[in-house]
Amino acid sequence: MKLSAEQIQSNWEIFTNNIETYISGDRKEKLLKFYSKFQDRLMLMPASHKKEYHNAFPGGYIEHVNRVVECALKQYDLWKSEGCDMSTFTKEELVFSAINHDLGKMGDETHESYLPQTDKWRREKLGEDYMHNKEIAFAAVPDRGLFLLQQHDVKYTFNEMVAIQTHDGLYDIANEKYLKSYMPETKPRTALPFILHFADMMAARIEFEREWLPKFKNNLDGKKENYTLNTNSKKSNANTKNKALGTIKSEGLKNIFDKL
């Protein structure tokens, strides 16, 4: 997937417009200031380092975040229509969490997380167009994102903290303490983490299908064609063998040997 310069610019405008539209008060200005500071880096960031994941191309990060916001708002309407208690969180909390759910992929103040892959073999054989920056100390994506927000004095609510922390659902074992509970008092008091997780899953799946399903289909079509050719070849060989056996049976082995 390759985005044009115009698409990258348009995606950035959608991104900042979501902040303008859904985030209120003092933290709107702080959030806009923060993202403006790192605009050049964020606009061209991939959403992951490897093609097998999602949006591993320049501009992929912002496009992914915008899609998560859109999916989250649609999930909000769906959950509401099915009778979920929406009074336990605000739409601002939902959009704030969606906008910042993967912020930790940015890196730190000085260093980017993802650098262009310099190893040709890893790029061609493993699909790793990017590599992780070894200058950055390890931190889980949600942890680094929350740290970056507090580092720039962008405050977040408890609901937003838990939603960002658990947006990968049970794919991250660290989230079991929040999401794998059998006691009502230890379950999340709001559906916000689940809505954000499903929105992120939806966006990532759509991006995966866009990138990979056409390739899978072409590969499968090619295999079907080869299978048909092989099957026809086998049928032809089988017919030849059957004719030979028929000749043997009709003429008898002794007559055939006499002819030879």
**Digit-coded pLDDT (tens) for 78-110:** 999 999 999 999 999 999 999 999 999 999 999
Q: What is the DSSP letter of 56?
A: -
Q: Cα-Cα-Cα-Cα dihedral of 248, 253, 254, 260, to 10°?
A: 70
Q: Is there a single domain that holds both residue 97 and residue 155? A: yes
What pLDDT score was predicted for residue 196?
Answer: 98
Q: Backbone phi, then psi, for 259, in 5-degree steps?
A: -65, -40
CA 68 to mean position of chain CA atoms: 10
> What does the block give as tokens for 257?
């040997």
Phi-psi region of 124 (alpha: psi -120 to 50; beta: other; left: phi over 0): alpha
Picking from 46-50, 60-64, 72-76, 156-160, which range would have the lowest pLDDT averaged per residue? 46-50
Rounded Cα gap, residues 154 and 160, in angstroms: 12
The residue-averaged pLDDT of 61-90 equals 98
What pLDDT score was predicted for residue 1?
Answer: 80
What pLDDT score was predicted for residue 117?
Answer: 87
Q: Is there a single domain that holds both residue 64 and residue 141? A: yes
The residue-averaged pLDDT of 15-20 equals 98
Does the pLDDT of residue 179 top 90, yes or no?
A: yes
- 248: pLDDT confidence band, cut at 50, 70 and 90? very low
Q: Is there a single domain that holds both residue 21 and residue 86? A: yes
Q: Is there a single domain that holds both residue 191 and residue 249? A: no
Q: Is there a single domain that holds both residue 143 and residue 249? A: no
Which neighbouring-strand residues pair with 42? none
Q: Is there a single domain that holds both residue 230 and residue 198? A: no
The residue-averaged pLDDT of 131-150 equals 95
Instruction: State which H helix or E strand residue 221 sits in.
Output: helix 192-251
Picking from 12-21, 118-127, 137-146, 216-225, which range would have the lowest pLDDT averaged per residue? 216-225
**Digit-coded pLDDT (tens) for 206-244:** 998 888 777 767 666 665 555 555 555 555 555 555 555
pTM of the model: 0.82
Rounded Cα gap, residues 65 and 114, in angstroms: 17
Does the pLDDT of residue 255 top 70, yes or no?
A: no
H-type helices in 38-59, by residue range?
39-43
Q: Is there a single domain that holds both residue 72 and residue 41? A: yes
What pLDDT score was predicted for residue 213?
Answer: 77
CA 3 to mean position of chain CA atoms: 17
Does the pLDDT of residue 254 top 60, yes or no?
A: no
Q: Is there a single domain that holds both residue 201 and residue 228? A: no
Percent of the chain with pLDDT over 70: 82
Question: 102 by DSSP, 3-state: which?
Answer: coil
Q: Is there a single domain that holds both residue 200 and residue 230? A: no
Q: Is there a single domain that holds both residue 180 and residue 252? A: no
Q: What is the DSSP letter of 101?
A: T
Range of the domain at 231: 223-259
Q: Is there a single domain that holds both residue 98 and residue 195? A: yes
Nearest to 69 by CA among 225, 252, 196: 196
Question: Total structural domains in the chain?
Answer: 2
What pLDDT score was predicted for residue 148?
Answer: 97
Q: Is there a single domain that holds both residue 228 and residue 164? A: no
Question: 115 by DSSP, 3-state: which?
Answer: strand
